[in-house]
């Protein structure tokens, strides 16, 4: 699987992500600076976590207007897999690849803790390695993870199986509507999620529950290659 | 000199300089200083930058050892961790600014210490903090806790360093001065350490990072004075942090260092441009000439005085190899940072500052740093306190006392705090906050570093010498309880006004205790910071010499946890005094919370026993015999058992305590640990302990029942959990918090 991580000034979880990709696929991802206007040929583009541009203005708002994003949108529209985690999810919403918005946490505070996630749809390129309705452990670490969209959009996301992950067992850490933790684009090739599966992929993390996501992607990538 | 402002005695006093210190300046330069020069002297000679009251005593501390690569005197200490890698760490206070403006004060405290670490060429991999606030009922306390915690999180989370541990305590004596001590640890290659000493004449001095503004002008001088009722007026002396710029500065600096362009580098911390330039020149026996017209500024019309004293954040000064200038500039431009050649090194040992073509300061550079006044201030050791008699102690049952202790301000869970810190970023956190020591894996190796910050201010108040030793011993013990070999420490010595002999006495005796413990435990001090004048309207804080230690584990998989592993495991108490589980209630949390008394001497520290007990416990962990380990500290044995049980959701069944119950269960005797073992390991381990001269006894078993039982009585884990987890959120979220 060939992958690329987009690096914005202020990104800070690119190393965690690179390690997880390497673990799952055996290959180091390419690191692409936000000012680039082209991308290498890859199966997966990742927008990692962090505080791109300091989260000034709005989380993900300035990253969404970075030069490289035009190419990310183009690739997404061609069907290339795109994964946005945390700040990456916020940026994918800001650039319009995913619907809705991530508001400030209901507690108004940053929250870093482990939550439970239900795999709400296993028929996706990102989740097929998991069992249907499987509950996994996964950490969150964010200040703006409170997913919001209007009722019609939420109904549509649910109806089309585009909710990939939900906070389970009462662990919703941020007030997200309908316990939404991760959603897919209409075509199913773009996933945005607030939790950090990359920080649950190594024995040292205390569990390997996040590895299924990267193995799922690696499987698809190899098939396409 | 062309400031055209008369230097009056009042102006000198406003700069925090005493009349005899001003006389010294006149003697040094042979004329009246300009205003800019007066500002430069005040910046270099204040307590915060010059250590003028403390230096004489700091020199007595042990700072060398087999692993020490760099001791005190640089931006941070450096120790060897093998594999061609070094750990770089330091702790620093931001007490005064945090009390005035808690969010920015704490945030810039974190920013400053991170900068100290990456200035040395290390990528920051972990942060800790030690926080002290006034009593919970004080009207300002909640506002300070909320602001400081948000500020630490706001900066560290955005920068991308995991904040993995720390301390939070409350006491009336911090009502008027909170303490914010921030620690950072970085990893560098042993052949990639950078220093502040400039080398070579005529080389470009380059300014990097953020622009200079008027924020923080005079901050270091403010931090060297007591507070009075007018502190609100000092708000403009607090700097404003920008973690996004700091993150870019980190990446740009590491990229630049890798390019081979850097001769010397110094971050601009306290006293900004002044102290960074003087330090680089003075250390390298070189003069420095700065042309302030080239310094990037955020505001129009800044004077030389303002620019030299500004404490705007996220700035660096470097001496560069001229042939690499273009390459260096390109790196900084890529990261969107300012890059300006603002001066050059000279051979005349002068510190010369130009503004609009005029010389605004022309001072002897070596003397600015080295000739700062040094004081051997009079001191008086406090009288020892009489031992605490058994008379008048309440007979409160343990079933009532334990929930009260676990739900008290000082012993309740700090989850409310550490969940606001990203403690996982970088993906190397092996032991999260809430245990004895945090453990982070050293990326690219199997190794891990254990970190802990400790001090018990009420012990230091009661007996500074024992209290100083205890701070070191507890830190060493926490690292040991994680299975690590303690390597070295950084200290942050927070005290009141050193001009008072009783305060100076606390300082002297505490430093002596720290020195003794560090020598005997082979735990050298490699960096540190002193914060004096923590007083408000004449009342000093509790003396708080915080000790942050770093230990090394050969394999992160060996890191112990305090979590009970399985029902049936035997619980052993290591290091208990003969014939009892515990004996010492003087200055204990039990005495304060249950009896309402803060009395008696603190528990004495026996360094030989500490070493023996700790080495024994570490060996149990390393050989995988201990299934869990925890050191005993505040609250004593039963609080420690409860913490192990709550972490695991497993209960414990203890025998009838040995000795009088309150002292056995809640005494704070030093040098003790709890370890759990599989049943079949207990007998051989007890034998081994006896052979090693280590006191050890069985006290009970881990149980599958969700309760803590001692003899015939029990308390449910759910009651204990409710008490333990409940206090902090209830305190912070009480309705009147909205009016803060």
DSSP secondary structure of A88-151: HHHHHHHTTSS-SEEEPPTTSS-EEEEEEEEE---SSTTTTTSPTT-EEEEEEEESS-EEE--H
CB contact under 8 A, B427 and A205: yes
CB contact under 8 A, B244 and A199: no
Give residue B391's pLDDT.
Answer: 83
Domain count, chain A: 1
Residues 6 or more apart whose Cβ sits within 8 Å of residue B434: B413, B414, B415, B418, B647
Q: Which of A86, A138, A195, A204 to mutate to test the interface with B (most CBs of B within 10 A)?
A: A204
What are the chain B neighbours of A204 within 8 Å (beta carbons)?
Answer: 427-428, 430, 441, 556
Contact of B402 with B708, CB cutoff 8 Å? yes
Give residue B236's pLDDT.
Answer: 63
What are the chain A neighbours of B243 within 8 Å (beta carbons)?
Answer: 51, 54
Q: Looking at the complex, report in whole angstroms how far the Cα of residue A209 sits from the nearest Cα belonging to chain B.
A: 14
Q: Does the annotation mark B724 as catalytic?
A: no
B608 C-beta neighbours (distance < 10 Å), count: 10
Confidence of residue A224 (pLDDT cuts 50, 70, 90): very low
Handedness of CA B254, B255, B256, B258 (dihedral sign): positive
Q: Does the annotation mark A203 as catalytic?
A: no
Task: Judge whether A15 is closer than 8 Å to chain B, CB to CB.
Answer: yes
The rounded average pLDDT for each run of 10 residues, N- to C-terminus, in chain B (740 residues) is 76 90 93 93 87 93 97 95 97 95 96 96 98 96 97 98 97 97 98 93 94 77 64 67 94 95 91 91 95 94 91 92 94 94 96 95 90 91 89 92 98 98 97 94 97 98 98 98 98 97 98 98 97 94 98 98 97 93 97 96 98 98 98 98 98 93 96 98 97 97 97 96 98 68
CB contact under 8 A, B424 and A112: yes
Q: Give the tokens for residue B697.
A: 């006894």
Is A55 among the domain residues? yes
pTM for the complete prediction?
0.95
Under DSSP, the state recorded for B382 is P
Contact of A125 with A86, CB cutoff 8 Å? no
Task: Judge whether A196 is closer than 8 Å to chain B, CB to CB.
Answer: yes
Task: Judge whether A19 is closer than 8 Å to chain B, CB to CB.
Answer: yes
What are the chain B neighbours of A198 within 8 Å (beta carbons)?
Answer: 427
Q: Looking at the complex, report in whole angstroms how far the Cα of residue B244 sits from the nearest Cα belonging to chain A.
A: 5
Give residue B5's pLDDT.
Answer: 78
Q: Looking at the complex, report in whole angstroms how far the Cα of residue B416 sits from the nearest Cα belonging to chain A.
A: 9
Q: Looking at the complex, report in whole angstroms how far the Cα of residue A132 sits from the nearest Cα belonging to chain B.
A: 27
Under DSSP, the state recorded for B300 is T
Is A224 among the domain residues? no
A2-29 average pLDDT score:
96
Place of tokens 């913490």: B643
CB contact under 8 A, A141 and B336: no
pLDDT at A72 over 70: yes
Tell me the backbone φ, ψ of residue B639, rounded to 5 degrees: -65, -40
Provide the residue range defining the domain that includes A176: 3-217
Task: Judge whether B733 is closer than 8 Å to chain A, CB to CB.
Answer: no
pLDDT at A83 over 60: yes
Give residue A223's pLDDT.
Answer: 41
Tell me, what CATH number does A114's domain have? 3.40.50.880
Measured between alpha carbons, how far is B580 from B475 in angstroms, rounded to an integer? 24
Check the annotation: does B15 bind a ligand.
no
Is A225 among the domain residues? no
Which chain A residue has its CA at the smallest distance from B556's CA?
A204
Q: Give the tokens for residue B578.
A: 């003969």
Beta strand spans in B480-632 (E): 485-494, 525-531, 535-536, 539-540, 544-553, 570-574, 626-631
What are the chain B neighbours of A139 within 8 Å (beta carbons)?
Answer: 424
Contact of A83 with A191, CB cutoff 8 Å? yes
CB contact under 8 A, A204 and B154: no
What are the chain A neighbours of B423 within 8 Å (beta carbons)?
Answer: 112
Task: Judge whether B244 is closer than 8 Å to chain A, CB to CB.
Answer: yes
Task: Judge whether A56 is closer than 8 Å to chain B, CB to CB.
Answer: yes
Task: Judge whether B732 is closer than 8 Å to chain A, CB to CB.
Answer: no
Is A37 among the domain residues? yes
Is A167 among the domain residues? yes
Distance of alpha carbon B518 from the chain centroid: 16
Is A223 among the domain residues? no
Give residue B739's pLDDT.
Answer: 45
Question: Using CB atoms, which residue from A20, A112, A198 is nearest to B421?
Answer: A112
Burial class (CB in 10 A: 0-12, 13-18, 19+), B581: buried
Is A222 among the domain residues? no
Contact of B512 with B468, CB cutoff 8 Å? yes
Task: Judge whether A57 is closer than 8 Å to chain B, CB to CB.
Answer: no
What does the pLDDT look like over A92-128, one tens digit per residue?
A: 999 999 999 999 999 999 999 999 999 999 999 999 9
Task: Judge whether A22 is closer than 8 Å to chain B, CB to CB.
Answer: no
Query: What is the complex's ipTM, to 2 decimals?
Result: 0.96
What are the chain B neighbours of A113 within 8 Å (beta carbons)?
Answer: 419
Q: Looking at the complex, report in whole angstroms how far the Cα of residue B160 sits from the nearest Cα belonging to chain A.
A: 5
Task: Judge whether A175 is closer than 8 Å to chain B, CB to CB.
Answer: no
Place of tokens 């946890």: B561
Contact of B450 with B430, CB cutoff 8 Å? no
Residues A34, A86, A93, A138: which is the catalytic one? Answer: A86
Please state which of the ranges A43-47, A195-199, B366-370, B406-410 shows the lowest mean pLDDT.
B366-370
Measured between alpha carbons, how far is B121 from B243 in angstroms, rounded to an integer? 18
Q: Give the tokens for residue B106.
A: 């704490």
Beta strand spans in B418-536 (E): 429-431, 438-441, 448-454, 485-494, 525-531, 535-536
Distances (CA, A) of A41 to A85, A201, B342, B454, B566: 21, 26, 44, 52, 51
Question: Using CB atoms, which residue from B154, B247, B425 is nearest to A16?
Answer: B425
What are the chain B neighbours of A208 within 8 Å (beta carbons)?
Answer: none
Residues A142, A143, A196, A205: which is the catalytic one? Answer: A196
CB contact under 8 A, B427 and A19: yes
Is A112 among the domain residues? yes
Check the annotation: does B99 bind a ligand.
no
Task: Judge whether A79 is closer than 8 Å to chain B, CB to CB.
Answer: no
Residues 6 or more apart whose Cβ sits within 8 Å of residue B87: B78, B79, B81, B122, B185, B186, B187, B449, B487, B550
Question: Using CB atoms, which residue from A15, A112, A199 is nearest to B419?
Answer: A112
Pick the closest to residue B627 from B638, B635, B614, B617 (CA basis): B617
């Amino acid at each position: 699987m060939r992958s690329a991580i987009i690096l914005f000034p202020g990104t800070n979880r690119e190393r965690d992500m690179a390690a997880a990709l390497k673990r799952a696929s055996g290959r180091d991802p390419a690191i692409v600076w936000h000012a680039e206007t082209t991308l290498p040929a890859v199966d997966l583009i990742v927008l990692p976590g962090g505080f791109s541009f300091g989260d000034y203005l709005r989380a993900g708002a300035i990253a969404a207007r970075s030069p490289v994003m035009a190419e990310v949108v183009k690739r997404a529209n061609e069907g290339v897999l795109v994964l946005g985690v945390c700040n990456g999810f916020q940026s994918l919403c800001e650039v319009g690849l995913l619907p809705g918005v991530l508001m400030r946490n209901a507690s108004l505070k940053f929250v870093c803790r482990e939550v439970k996630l239900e795999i709400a749809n296993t028929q996706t390129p990102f989740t097929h390695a998991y069992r249907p309705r499987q509950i996994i452990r996964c950490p969150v670490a964010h200040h703006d993870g409170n997913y919001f969209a209007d009722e019609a959009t939420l109904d549509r996301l649910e109806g089309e199986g585009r909710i990939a992950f939900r906070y389970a067992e009462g662990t919703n850490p941020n007030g997200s509507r309908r316990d939404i933790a991760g959603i897919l684009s209409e075509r199913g090739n773009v996933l945005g999620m607030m939790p950090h599966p990359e920080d649950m992929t190594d024995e040292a993390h205390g569990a390997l529950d996040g590895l299924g996501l990267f193995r799922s992607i690696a499987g698809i990538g190899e098939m396409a290659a | 000199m062309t400031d055209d402002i008369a230097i009056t005695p009042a102006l000198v006093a406003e700069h925090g300089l005493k009349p005899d210190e001003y006389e010294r300046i006149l003697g040094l330069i042979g004329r009246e200083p300009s205003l800019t020069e007066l500002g430069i002297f005040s910046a270099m000679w204040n307590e915060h930058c010059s250590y003028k009251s403390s230096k004489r005593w700091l020199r007595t501390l042990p700072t060398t050892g087999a692993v020490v690569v760099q001791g005190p005197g640089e931006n941070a200490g450096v120790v060897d961790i093998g594999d061609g890698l070094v750990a770089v760490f330091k702790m620093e206070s931001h007490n005064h600014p945090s009390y005035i403006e808690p969010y920015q004060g704490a945030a810039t405290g974190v920013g400053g210490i991170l900068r100290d670490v990456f200035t040395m060429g290390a990528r920051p991999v972990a942060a800790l903090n030690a926080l002290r606030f006034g009593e919970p009922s004080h009207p300002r306390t909640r506002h300070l806790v909320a602001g400081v915690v948000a500020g630490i999180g706001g900066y560290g989370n955005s920068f991308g360093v995991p904040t993995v541990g720390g301390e939070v305590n409350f006491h009336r004596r911090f009502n008027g001065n909170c303490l914010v001590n921030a620690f950072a640890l970085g990893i560098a290659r042993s052949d990639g350490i950078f220093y502040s000493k400039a080398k070579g004449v005529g080389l470009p001095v380059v300014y990097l990072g953020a622009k200079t503004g008027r924020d923080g002008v005079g901050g270091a001088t403010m931090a060297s004075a007591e507070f009075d009722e007018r502190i609100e007026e000092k708000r403009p002396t607090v700097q404003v942090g920008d973690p996004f710029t700091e993150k870019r500065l980190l990446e740009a600096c590491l990229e630049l260092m890798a390019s081979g362009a850097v001769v010397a580098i110094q971050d601009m911390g306290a006293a900004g441009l002044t102290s960074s330039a003087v330090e680089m020149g003075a250390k390298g026996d070189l003069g420095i000439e700065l042309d302030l017209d080239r310094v990037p500024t955020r505001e129009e019309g800044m004077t030389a005085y303002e620019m030299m004293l500004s404490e705007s954040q996220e700035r660096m000064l470097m001496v560069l190899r001229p042939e690499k200038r273009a390459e260096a500039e390109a790196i900084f431009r890529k990261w969107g940072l300012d890059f300006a050649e603002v001066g050059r090194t000279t051979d005349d040992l002068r510190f010369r500052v130009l503004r609009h073509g005029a010389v605004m300061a022309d001072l002897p550079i070596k003397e600015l740093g080295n000739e700062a006044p040094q004081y051997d201030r009079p001191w008086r050791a406090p009288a020892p306190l009489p031992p605490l008699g058994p008379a008048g102690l309440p007979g409160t049952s343990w079933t009532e006392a334990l929930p009260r202790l676990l739900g008290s301000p000082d012993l309740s869970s700090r989850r409310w705090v550490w969940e606001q810190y990203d403690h996982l970023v970088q993906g190397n956190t092996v032991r999260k906050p809430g245990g004895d020591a945090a453990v982070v894996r050293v990326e690219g190796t199997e190794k891990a570093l254990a970190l802990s910050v400790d001090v018990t201010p009420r012990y230091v108040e009661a007996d500074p010498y024992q209290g100083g030793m205890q701070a070191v011993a507890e830190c060493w013990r926490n690292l040991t309880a994680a299975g690590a070999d303690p390597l070295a420490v950084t200290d942050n010595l927070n005290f009141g006004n050193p001009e008072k002999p009783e305060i100076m006495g606390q300082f002297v005796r505490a430093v002596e205790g720290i020195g003794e413990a560090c020598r005997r435990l082979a735990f050298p001090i490699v960096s540190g910071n002193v914060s004096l004048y923590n007083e408000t309207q004449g009342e000093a804080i509790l003396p708080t010499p915080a000790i942050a230690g770093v230990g090394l584990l050969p394999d992160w998989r060996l890191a112990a946890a305090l979590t009970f592993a399985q029902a049936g495991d035997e619980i052993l108490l290591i290091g208990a005094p003969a014939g009892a589980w515990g004996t010492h209630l003087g200055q204990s949390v039990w005495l304060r919370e249950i009896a309402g008394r803060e009395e008696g001497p603190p528990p004495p520290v026996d360094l030989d026993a500490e070493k023996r007990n700790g080495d024994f416990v570490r060996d149990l962990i390393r050989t995988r015999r201990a299934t869990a380990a925890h050191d005993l500290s505040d609250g004593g044995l039963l609080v420690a058992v409860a913490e192990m049980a709550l972490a695991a959701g497993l209960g414990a069944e203890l025998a009838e305590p040995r000795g009088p119950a309150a002292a056995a269960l809640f005494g704070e005797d030093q040098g003790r640990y709890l370890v759990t073992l599989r049943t079949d390991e207990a007998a051989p381990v007890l034998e081994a302990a006896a052979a090693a001269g280590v006191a050890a006894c069985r006290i009970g078993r881990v149980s599958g029942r969700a309760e803590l039982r001692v003899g015939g009585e029990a308390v449910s884990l759910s009651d204990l959990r409710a008490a333990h987890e409940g206090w902090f959120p209830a305190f912070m979220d009480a309705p009147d918090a909205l009016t803060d």
